[in-house]
Structure 1
Amino acid sequence: MRRIPSGSVRFFYGPMDCGKSTLALQIHDNQVRQGRRGVLLTRFDRSGPARISSRIGLSSPALEVTDDLDLTAVLDAAAATGAVDYVVVDEAQFLTPAQVDQLALAADEREIEVFAFGIATDFRSRLFPGSARLFEIADRIAPVQVEVLCWCGRPGRFNARLLGGRITREGPTIVIADTGDPVAPGPDPDGGAPAYRVLCRRHYRAGRLGPQEPDAQEPDTDGPDADGPDTNGPDTDGPDRAGAGHGG
């Protein structure tokens, strides 16, 4: 009987705070328990470089990815000391499209299972390049099932960036900060250190962070209107099928 190749690329996406890093570490633990050997990758983790960490206290050492890191060379080096069965990538939105293609090559040519976790869209509700490429080529795409709620109780899918306790629509795509209460005004010229808040589409568009706040001017959101495709039902594309700073 002809053997079916086992390598695949799976992309699990969702807004900040939905448990992506926790799920990544759970999958890693399950793989290790079965005697499998893997490589863990991350970028801009909340706890600092070279580690995947979750808000519930789980963590594991990982290789810090940079824009110029060749993931094919990383896997070549890892394979020199033993077979590599899987790769877990947290904060996959920060990968370059070329690095995503390198992971797909590893799945196809080396039969490595690739598990990627990330946010789909940035604080402007535009797809990250790494996430966009994963949506294009992953074998399986699935939203993380832990639902994050906006302050109003609706599902939160938009990662709003805050400066001085107010939503901002301008600035560089990547600014590393965590979620939490709006920050108090600080010494920087924008009025405070950056933070993020997960909001529903209605209140992301209105710029409202709570029930007592007036609506701000709505942004132009002609691009993706949520953190990735609206796949609240079954996974798409076969058997299984967002940015902000970081989240897990």
Structure 2
Amino acid sequence: MAKLYFYYASMNAGKSTTLLQADFNYRERGMATMLWTAAIDTRTESPIASRIGLTADARRFTPGTNLWSEVSSQHAASPLACVLIDEAQFLTAMQVWQCARLADEANIPVLCYGLRTDFRGDLFPGSAVLLGIADSMQELKAVCHCGRKATMNLRVSDTGEAVGEGAQTEIGGNERYLALCRRHFAQSLAMYK
């Protein structure tokens, strides 16, 4: 029986690297996969790129992409062993349910990788639904500068100052976000008053 998986973490935990390793493992055994990532993230030439230099081509989803239809069509033409989705926090609630349907009705494992929370500590919509309905969830570990597990994503300005307001989605890497433990995140935003 196929399952819907959610691998979540803060920035710099190796989510894309782990996805690419899982994809490699399937492909090394002669199994076909389908990779997806959010169209909103256009920072790199390759749709999926890890910080350690691994890359892969992938289809890009927008809020209007019907993952059930797209994956089902590909699966009918050439059977898929697995679907892997990077930047899963940007999935809509409907798209997460489409992923669940792929596992339940098409019997295709769907592995989703993404951030759990935004720079304010709020759940992303896609992550909230994944946390609610995924068959299996695993937190990947990132490390705060103090050595504790980093679970939060602090947005910083161009001058390195903590940012506590703004749009939920602002694409960026190490120049815009720091992975911190909850204590340092809260201290940075003066939440412990």
**TM range, smaller chain:** over 0.9
Pick the structure with more helix per residue.
2
TM-score normalised over the length of structure 1: 0.73
Q: Which amino acid aligns with 2:144?
A: C
Match of 1:37 among 32, 35, 56: 32
In the aligned structure 2, how far is the partner of 1:165 from the partner of 1:149?
A: 19
Residues 46 and 154 of structure 1, relative CA distance in 2, 3 Å threshold: farther
Read off the aligned partner of 2:151 and give its amino acid letter: R
Whole-Å separation in 1 of the counterparts to 2:73 and 2:105: 16
| Separation in 2, partners of 1:21, 1:12 | 10
TM-score, normalised on structure 2?
Answer: 0.92
CA deviations 1:34-88 (Å, max 9, x no partner) are 2211110001446437611111111110001100111112113312421122100
Are 1:160 and 2:141 an aligned pair? no
Q: Is 1:19 aligned with 2:14?
A: yes
Aligned length: 191
Tell me how large the CA RMSD over aligned residues is: 1.7
Superposed, 1:1-248 pairs within 5 Å as: 6-43=1-38, 44-45=40-41, 47-48=43-44, 51-144=47-140, 147-163=141-157, 164-180=159-175, 195-207=176-188, 217-218=190-191
Question: Sequence identity of aligned pairs in percent?
Answer: 38
1:102 aligns to what SS in structure 2? helix
* Partner SS for 1:134: helix
Partners of 1:49 and 1:219 in 2: how far apart? Answer: 41
- Please tell me the residue identity of whatever aligns with 1:217: A
Structure 1 letter corresponding to 2:152: F
Pair 1:59–1:45, CA change in 2 (3 A): farther
Report the AA paired with residue 197 of structure 1: L
Return the alpha-carbon distance in structure 2 between the equivalents of residues 177 and 16 of structure 1.
10
In structure 1, give the amino acid aligned to 2:71.
L
For 1:165 and 1:172, how far apart are their aligned partners in 2? 18
What amino acid does structure 1 have at the position aligned with 2:113?
A: F
Residue ranges of structure 2 left out of the alignment (5+ in a row) = none
